[in-house]
Amino acid sequence: MACMVNEELVTGVRTVCDVVETALGPFGANKLLIQRDGTVTATASSTELLDRFDVSDPAVTLLDTAASDFHDAYGDGTGTVVTLVGALLREADRLAERGLHPTAIERGFREGLDIALDAVDGAAHPLSAYEPDDVARTALTATRNPAVRRSVSAQVADAVAEAGPEARDRVQVVSRTGGATAETDLVSGVVIERGPVLESMPRSQHGTGIAVLSSTVDVPHAGSQLGRVSRRVTLDADSFEDREALRERESEAFDERLAAAVDAGCGVVITERAINERVESALAAAGILGVHRVDADVVDRVARATGATVVPTLEQVSAATLGTGDVDVRRKAGRDMTFVTSDAGEPTHTLFCRAPDPRTVRAFERSVEAAIAATAAATRDGRVVPGGGAIEATAARAVDRAARSLSGRQQLAADGFGNALLSVPRALAATAGVDAGQAEVRLRVARTEGRDAVGIDVLAGTTADVLGESPVVEPASLKAAVLTTAAEAAIQLIRIDERLDATDLGDEEEIEPETESADADADAEAARDGAP
């Protein structure tokens, strides 16, 4: 009897995969997510769908973790990973019904994966034959406006070119509701979505020292100490005079620290925590521009861009810890924002995105982040493959041909892996309004004729050479990572045969107290009967 894939365990996974599959590509269907608190979100972003799912099923948790880890590592391609996992599970069901054991399915899938990876490698083209803009435009699925796609993809390519292969860390994406996506602007430097804490503070500081702090800017408290405490002192100030003297001493101590920071060249203070109200005026009087409650990742970005060292408090600020650069407060999208530019540290850029409504702006921001990640990956690897499902169709053809040389059950499983690869062009065709069955036939025929660049032209709504006038290309390294991650996740799910609660694996059941008491009474009675 065949060992079937555990239906109960993977049903939830299949549901998630089916939902994500229909959201693939620029024409992916929107989903209405209704959360427990009543919040309603409309999105076609695969990443946002997975982020907002209220997951409790352990198998779905495995899939969600794999997809999240992939997104954190690569920034693009998460939807394709989930789509392929769903297709591989469907193939595993079909194979199990034909009598294949999960071990045989795993071996065939791994064989198919190796063949598919070789096909991706063989179909790769040098990036120099195309443009980084083409990679960015392919990943920019949140807009179908040709002019916007050209403009934004060009800005993404410029940002990646200046920031280098590590552009995901060096290019910030800031989005704001209001305006049109065509108003997206590439800014040199870091954008902080806050203005000065006090209106009387300067709005521009050029060529000045920039202090980057991780904690609150406030007057020091008597007895406060950084680092290991070797002695604890209790100070009682009961009278008004004592409390006033203590307050004056704390204020004098802060003035001394502030004067030392100014003497070191500090003109700007940017902190992750708050700038207390009682010291705002002192900073303004000293000519310092202060910005507080800045996100930790932005604080880190400012430090890397300006060459600053992040220190805990104003007391640790010195000429050695200060960064240098220009800081300007500008009005953008109806609010003050602080722009930090510098040549002292790493090249840093910000893409400032606009969109007419909250749903659109979030989707556009995610799409721009994916475009940055894809372009950076292509720049690192220097190779691209045809998009629009073309590379999956080519890999499926290679698996189909190679599987014929395999024996028995392994051949069936490898062939199933190849069939699963075609789920990507089928999904793209379906969301673009193209007959998925006819599109698959055309892709197969094109491969037999040696036309491996034929894929789904989603915007045109047909099958076509995707390397033509407006190339649709994806990073070869990213595509290989997608196939590998999807295969590993599917195999992990296929190999599960039972769900066990960890609480059931504890110590052996303890003897009931009543039983212990009854046994003790019986022993006592037996002893009395046997007594002389």
Amino acid at 360: T
Q: CA–CA distance from 397 to each of 119, 256, 417, 419 (Å)?
A: 9, 74, 11, 9
- Write the pLDDT tens digit of every residue in 237-290: 566 565 666 667 778 889 999 999 999 999 999 999 999 998 999 999 999 999
Same domain, 247 and 306: yes
Map 247-307 to HEC letters: HHHHHHHHHHHHHHHHHCCEEEEEECCCECHHHHHHHHHCCCEEECCCCHHHHHHHHHHHC
Evaluate whether residue 523 is within a structural domain. Answer: no
Same domain, 95 and 172: no
Is 72 a domain residue? Answer: yes
Shared domain check, 161 and 23: no
Query: Are residues 54 and 65 located together in one domain of the fold?
Result: yes
pLDDT of residue 111: 95
The pairing of strands 289-291 and 266-271 is parallel
Residues 168 and 151 in one domain: yes
On whether residue 105 sits in a domain, the answer given is yes
Residues 240 and 151 occupy one common structural domain:
no
Q: Is there a single domain that holds both residue 334 and residue 200? A: yes
Q: How far apart are CA 315 and CA 7, in angstroms?
A: 62
> Which domain CATH number covers 367?
3.30.260.10
Query: Which residues, including other chains, have CB under 8 Å from residue 390's CB and lie 6 or more apart?
Result: 425, 443, 452, 453, 454, 455, 456, 466, 472
137 occurs within a structural domain: no
Give residue 320's pLDDT: 96
Which residue(s) pair with 172 in the sheet? 350
Residue type, 40: V
DSSP state of 316: G
Residue 283's alpha-carbon distances to 48, 174, 191, 212, in angstroms, are: 41, 28, 22, 15
Q: Which residues have C-beta within 8 Å of that of residue 119, sequence separation ≥ 6? A: 391, 394, 395, 397, 398, 399
Residue 509 in any domain: the answer is: no
- On whether the CB atoms of residues 146 and 470 are closer than 8 A, the answer is no
Q: Using 70 as the pLDDT threshold, list the residues of the chain that sit under it.
A: 1-9, 41, 43-44, 54-55, 221-247, 498-532
CATH number at residue 241: 3.50.7.10
Give, to the nearest 10 degrees, the angle between helix 408-421 and helix 390-403: 170
What is the pTM (predicted TM-score) of this model?
Answer: 0.79
Q: Cβ distance 173 to 369 under 8 Å? A: yes
28, 64, 68, 80 from 54: Cα distances, Å = 21, 11, 14, 21
Inter-residue contact 256 to 275 (CB < 8 Å): no
Q: Taking each helix axis as running N to C, give the angle between helix 476-494 and helix 58-74, from 0 to 180 degrees, rounded to the nearest 10.
A: 170
Residue 181's domain comprises 142-189+351-381
Given this model, what pLDDT does residue 51 score? 72
Rounded CA-CA distance 456/390 in Å is 7
- pLDDT for 296 equals 94
Whole-number pLDDT of residue 167: 87
Domain termination site, one of 363, 381, 399: 381
**505/86 Cα distance (integer angstroms):** 31
- Clarify whether residues 461 and 377 are in a common domain: no
Q: Which of 487, 486, 491, 488 is nearest to 46 (CA)?
A: 486
Residue 531's pLDDT is 44
**From CA 86, how far away is CA 485, in angstroms rounded?**
13
Query: What is the C-alpha radius of gyration for the chain, rounded to an integer number of angstroms?
Result: 31
Structural domain total, the chain: 3
pLDDT value, residue 155: 92
For residue 136, is it within any domain? no
237 and 183 assigned to the same domain: no
Q: Name the pairing type of β-strands 454-457 and 462-465.
A: antiparallel
Please check whether residue 116 lies inside any domain of the structure: yes
Instruction: Give 125-139 as a DSSP string.
Output: EEGGGS-HHHHHHHH
Residues 69 and 160 in one domain: no
Domain membership of residue 452 (yes or no) is yes
Determine the 3-state secondary structure of 326 from DSSP.
Answer: strand
Do 427 and 316 lie in one domain? The reply is no
State whether 440 and 356 are in the same domain: no
Spatial separation of the C-alpha atoms in residues 291 and 302, rounded to whole Å: 12
Write out the H or E segment, with its range, that includes residue 42: strand 40-43
Residues 121/476, Cβ–Cβ less than 8 Å:
yes
